[in-house]
Structure 1
Amino acid sequence: MTGMDDRLDEAGDWLVRLQSDALSEEDALAFDAWLAASPENGRAYDAVVAASHEIDANRMALRLALSAQRTRNPIVSRRRLFWGGGLAAAAIAASAAIVVLPAGVQTYATAPGERQRIQLADGSSLELNGATRLSARMTGKMRRIELEVGEASFDVAHDANRPFLVDTGDSAVRVVGTQFNVRRRGGRVAVAVARGEVEVGPDGGGLRQHYRLRPGQRLDHAEGATDARITSDAAQAAFGWRAGRLIYRNATLGEVVEDLNAQFARPMRVADPRLAAVRVSGVLVLDDQQAVIRRLALLTPIEAKEESSGVLLQRAP
């Protein structure tokens, strides 16, 4: 077995442990130490997370197909299910579980802690993170999403004649068919690609040039800025929220709290700018808010103070 094989095995073990309800504070600290030991560990973990997303998607499609076919004909053979209409059954089942957007303009919003899956008329699908608002316009000539605030993951159906655009203020993401994530919060935009390619460029101002992103790459820029930063092997962390995990590598505490405020109804704030600038690396499991704060306190020098308006994070003595 090669060194990379060993790392992938270790990464798989960590993924299982991190998804366990019995995850302990010691486990979280040990995972952080494993990530810090080598950049290759982080790349292996990203690869395992990406593979798990594909497996989950295939498993869900199979479950939908089986459920729909049993409803229509309980004694149908499995062979007929897969070769004689399984795709149609899956589509019927999926339409009952996912909001389907008709042509025209539709606006969707989620509250903190809420998520929503949307299926567009062209077959593309979206998943909205908490505290997100966007609108979708679907016509015979264009597919356009305006992300006003928040974060969404996109799985775009291929259509070379109708490019898919995501407006994020003064920049836009342009694709034909791919899987990617877009985040717009606090005056910053981040685009991460899991499959296919996307192009990010100016849309009435801001960026001076167009950037092409490939799988595994992530682009970050401030709204109004003329330049953007691209990083590699960092994209999969952007999809962690879909699995109930927030994954950070050298993020600021302020950025982490901004993300957490999209997950919980009770808002959190950092006491002072110096504390907000403290760097954070690690994984936060999104279960109970108090449990998340306790895990965050293991990664940063904070303590939480309950206020009538929410939770204040201040520097621990």
Structure 2
Amino acid sequence: MSARNAIEETAAYWLVRQGDGLSGEEQAQLDAWLNAAAEHKTAFWRLEYSWEKAGRLSALRGPDTLVEAMAETAPSASLRRGQPRWAVGLAATLALAVLTSTALLWPRPAHYATDTGERRLVALSDGSRVELNTETRLRASMSPDSREAWLDEGEAYFDVAHDASRPFTVHMGDRTVRVLGTRFSVRRDGDKVQVLVAEGRVRLSGPKSGPAAKPVLLVRGDVATGMGASVLQSRTSDQRVDDQLAWRRGLLVFDQITLSDAAAEFNRYNQTQLKVLDHQTAAIRIGGSFEATNVEAFVRLLQSAYGLEIDHDDGIVKISE
């Protein structure tokens, strides 16, 4: 029997005994076992949760099933000593039934996604809300003892409900953001990750090896950009925070960035793609507020304000002087 199965079996046994009422000595034994390892508590709570969700496993309620439970093959020797055979058999059956049903009852990660130019608001079961930006892939799992999300690609804004007993963790490859309750955005482009804190504080952890191994604490107005084993932390103003989160209002706000970078941002939101043909044009500085999905309006402004040449070619807009 594997160590994991032994833990699950022991947890199931104590769950059955607890249902019948524990003596003071038995309660002390249970407490000692639970406190011996975090895995013990996790297994016990998980089985208890699954049992409750299954209505205490109705499959075990009938007398025929109890007879079958009593006839089950006895589990590990550590449980056999001094325990009634029917209780050991029932514990073994309960462990098997709960382990089988857990795959159906225990919360699996929910998948959320947006297409090009789409935004989506997701309400999680813990009361948190997540806004997904264009071309984003997110998974989330809420359980009685943990709250986790995985940002596989794209950008998301998290408004996390406060819960001191269950920190909220966002995984982005080998980096994680851990919070109790706050508002922040995360953007992931391959190996590059950017975290912007709008309210509260978060803890950003990087790869376990390298200069970014030590967690970085970020507070309101902090921006952290991680790539590879490195992370760069900086401060910004409330206005810049609002500008960077303007996508939540369907806008792109540029503060004198290059046309090349502006085109790359527009390309995230539109099927029509912008292509800057020469370095001199790419270096032009752009400022202002623009509708993220109205690429044609942006192109017209480039043409009228800078006198640039615009050439439409099968879904690609070529820009040059």
Judge conservation of contact 1:107–1:134 (CA < 8 Å) in 2.
Answer: yes
Query: For the structure 1 residues 290 and 232, does the alpha-carbon distance in structure 2 shift closer, same or farther, using more than 3 Å as the test?
Result: same
Q: Structure 2, unaligned stretches of length 5 or more?
A: 1-105
Match of 1:220 in 2: 225
Query: For the structure 1 residues 297 and 141, does the alpha-carbon distance in structure 2 shift closer, same or farther, using more than 3 Å as the test?
Result: farther
Query: For the structure 1 residues 307 and 156, does the alpha-carbon distance in structure 2 shift closer, same or farther, using more than 3 Å as the test?
Result: same
Q: RMSD in angstroms over aligned alpha carbons?
A: 2.6
Match of 2:200 in 1: 196
Q: CA offsets per residue over residues 34-85 of structure 1, 9 Å max, x none? A: xxxxxxxxxxxxxxxxxxxxxxxxxxxxxxxxxxxxxxxxxxxxxxxxxxxx
Letter in 2 for 1:111: D
Q: What secondary structure, in the 3-state scheme, does the structure 1 residue paired with 2:268 have?
A: coil
Find the aligned partners of 2:260 and 2:229 in 1 and give their Cα distance. 20
Query: For the structure 1 residues 131 and 303, does the alpha-carbon distance in structure 2 shift closer, same or farther, using more than 3 Å as the test?
Result: farther
Q: How far has the Cα of 1:140 moved from its partner? A: 2.0
- TM-score of the superposed pair, with normalisation by structure 2: 0.59
- TM-score of the superposed pair, with normalisation by structure 1: 0.60
Q: What secondary structure, in the 3-state scheme, does the structure 2 residue paired with 1:259 have?
A: helix
Query: For the structure 1 residues 137 and 247, does the alpha-carbon distance in structure 2 shift closer, same or farther, using more than 3 Å as the test?
Result: same
Match of 2:176 in 1: 172
Which entry has the higher C-alpha Rg, 1 or 2?
A: 2
Find the aligned partners of 1:159 and 1:147 in 2 and give their Cα distance. 21
Match of 2:294 in 1: 288
Matches within 5 A, 1:1-317: 103-185=107-189, 187-204=191-208, 207-221=212-226, 223-233=227-237, 234-272=240-278, 275-276=281-282, 278-286=284-292, 288-296=294-302, 302-312=308-318, 314-316=319-321
Q: How far has the Cα of 1:210 moved from its partner? A: 2.1
Query: For the structure 1 residues 278 and 150, does the alpha-carbon distance in structure 2 shift closer, same or farther, using more than 3 Å as the test?
Result: farther
For these two proteins, the number of residue pairs brought into alignment is 213
Judge conservation of contact 1:282–1:299 (CA < 8 Å) in 2.
Answer: no
Find the aligned partners of 1:124 and 1:200 in 2 and give their Cα distance. 19
Q: Structure 1, unaligned stretches of length 5 or more?
A: 1-101
Letter in 1 for 2:198: A
Matched residues, percent identical?
35
Q: How far has the Cα of 1:282 moved from its partner? A: 2.7
Q: How far has the Cα of 1:273 moved from its partner? A: 5.8
Relative contact order higher in (CA < 8 Å, ≥ 6 apart):
1
Query: For the structure 1 residues 296 and 175, does the alpha-carbon distance in structure 2 shift closer, same or farther, using more than 3 Å as the test?
Result: farther
